[in-house]
Structure formats: C-alpha cells, structure tokens
C-alpha cells in the first residue's frame, strides 16, 4: 500500500469514527437510553407495588386486633415485624432490578467495543483484554479504540463502587465484608445519602432512591464519554 493510500485510508477511518460517534452522542435516540428509560419506569412501578404491599400488610395486622394471650406479640411488635420483613423483601426486589440495570449497561458497552473491533479491523479484540465487564470495556475503548476518556470523570468512580455492590449481590447473597462496608457503602452514601446501607444479617439494603441513582450515573458516564470524543458539527 502506497503512502497516499495509507493516508487516505486513515482519513476515511477517522471520518467514519467521527460520524459513528456523532450518531452515538445522541444518547436519547439510542437503544441504550430507551433501555434506561424503560428500567426507570419499571422502577417506578416496583416502588408503587412495594408501597401498596406494605400498606396492605399493615392494615391486615391492624384489623386482627390485639392478641388474646399475653404470650403472643403485641400489635406494635407485629407491625414492626411486618416492616422489617417488607424492608428485606423490598431490598431484594431492588437488588434484582439493579442487577438488570448493570447487566444492560455491560451489554451496551460490550456491543460498542465489538462494533468498533469489526468496523475498524482493530488488531486486538475485546476478548483479548484482561478483566471483564465494564472495567474491561472502558479499558478497551481507551487503549485500543483510542477514545479520550475524561480523567476527572465523576461517574466512573461511582460505577466502580457499583460494580462491587453488584458482585456482592450476585456472588455473596448481598453480603459485604467489613472493608466493603467501610469503603464502598460509605462512598456511595456520600454521592447519594441514604441510597444504600448495611442491613439485617450483614446484607446490603437498597433504598428506593438507589436504582434511579444508578440509572442517572450510567447516563452521566455515557454523556461524559460522548462529549469528550465528539465535536458535533451542524
């Protein structure tokens, strides 16, 4: 291949990349944003169902009246048990939705890496990189695809902590070590107070604000990724 052909090919590739990223920068018109919006709506339905369930259970307990024998739990204690049971059930439901959110984001970035590999004939595939999940995708986009990733990203440190929460839920039944409780949970609560805490039996307990916070963080990261690599031209 002559020098002129090499330069032409390089310019053509750069043009394709620019056009690809200009298209990808319009997050609200992509499947990724549609997916995040759907998950956001699903979270709203979940929270409504959880609140309805709790009110129904508490009303059921109240209508049973005071127990006949002193040995049984008082109305107040029974209500407290219902609230604790609800908190555990609600957190487990939010954990499941969070895992879906995280998996969707992983799938979206994996797809982006694979499209870049196929389109530009890159020498290294995403599967050749060490690690997995979102950290591997970010590494690939930076070191192989050559995207400029913001060094002062506000979203990425949060996403790394979310990855630790995801691993605790998926592989340890939601249980965290003391070190994770001190670092991961503390970091996330600084970003969004009250969204996560150490709950009963040593498991992480997710608040109603947790999933919206995750979706907002993913959107912020995608926005940072696009804005740092695209000069939109009208």
Radius of gyration of the chain (CA): 23
Q: Answer whether residue 165 is part of any domain.
A: yes
- How big, in percent rounded to 5, are the helix, strand and coil portions of the chain? 75, 5, 25
pLDDT above 70 for 186: yes
Q: Answer whether residue 60 is part of any domain.
A: yes
Cβ neighbours of residue 217 under 8 Å, at least 6 residues apart?
155, 158, 159, 162
User: Which is more confident, 75 or 157?
Assistant: 157
For range 137-164, the mean pLDDT: 86
pLDDT at 13: 55
Q: Answer whether residue 233 is part of any domain.
A: no
> From CA 205, how far away is CA 87, in angstroms rounded?
8
> From CA 42, how far away is CA 100, in angstroms rounded?
11
> From CA 33, how far away is CA 55, in angstroms rounded?
33
pLDDT above 60 for 177: yes
Helix (H, G, I), strand (E, B) or coil at 204: strand
| Region label for 194, one of left (φ > 0), alpha (ψ between -120 and 50) or beta (otherwise) | left
Mean pLDDT score of the chain = 79
Percent of the chain with pLDDT over 90: 24
For range 190-210, the mean pLDDT: 85
Q: Answer whether residue 167 is part of any domain.
A: yes
pLDDT at 44: 93
- Note whether 227 and 24 are within 8 A (CB): no
Q: Answer whether residue 31 is part of any domain.
A: yes
**Vertex 200 angle, CA 194 and 39, to 5°:** 50
The pLDDT confidence band at residue 70, using thresholds 50, 70 and 90, is very low
The pLDDT confidence band at residue 37, using thresholds 50, 70 and 90, is confident
Q: Answer whether residue 234 is part of any domain.
A: no
In which domain, by residue range, is 119 found?
3-227
Report how many domains make up the chain: 1
Q: Answer whether residue 21 is part of any domain.
A: yes
For range 128-132, the mean pLDDT: 89
Q: Answer whether residue 232 is part of any domain.
A: no
Tens digits of residue pLDDT in 73-127: 777 777 777 777 778 888 889 999 999 999 999 988 888 888 888 877 788 899 9
For range 186-204, the mean pLDDT: 83
């Amino acid at each position: 291949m002559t020098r002129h052909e090499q330069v032409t090919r390089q310019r053509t590739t750069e043009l394709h990349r620019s056009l690809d990223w200009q298209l990808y920068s319009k997050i609200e018109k992509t499947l990724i944003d549609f997916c995040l919006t759907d998950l956001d709506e699903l979270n709203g339905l979940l929270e409504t169902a959880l609140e309805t369930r709790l009110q129904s259970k508490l009303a059921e307990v109240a209508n049973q009246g005071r127990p006949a024998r002193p040995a049984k739990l008082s109305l107040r204690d029974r209500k407290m048990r219902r609230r604790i049971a609800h908190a555990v059930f609600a957190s487990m439901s939010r954990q499941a939705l969070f895992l879906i959110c995280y998996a969707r984001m992983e799938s979206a970035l994996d797809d982006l890496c694979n499209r870049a590999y196929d389109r530009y004939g890159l020498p290294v595939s995403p599967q050749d990189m060490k690690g997995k999940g979102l950290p591997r995708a970010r590494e690939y986009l930076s070191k192989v695809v050559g995207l400029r990733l913001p060094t002062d990203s506000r979203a990425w440190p949060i996403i790394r902590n979310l990855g630790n929460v995801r691993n605790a839920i998926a592989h340890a039944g939601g249980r965290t070590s003391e070190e994770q409780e001190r670092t991961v949970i503390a970091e996330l609560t600084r970003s969004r107070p009250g969204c996560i805490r150490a709950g009963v039996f040593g498991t992480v307990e997710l608040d109603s604000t947790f999933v919206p916070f995750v979706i907002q963080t993913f959107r912020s990261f995608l926005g940072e990724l696009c804005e740092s690599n695209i000069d939109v031209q009208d």
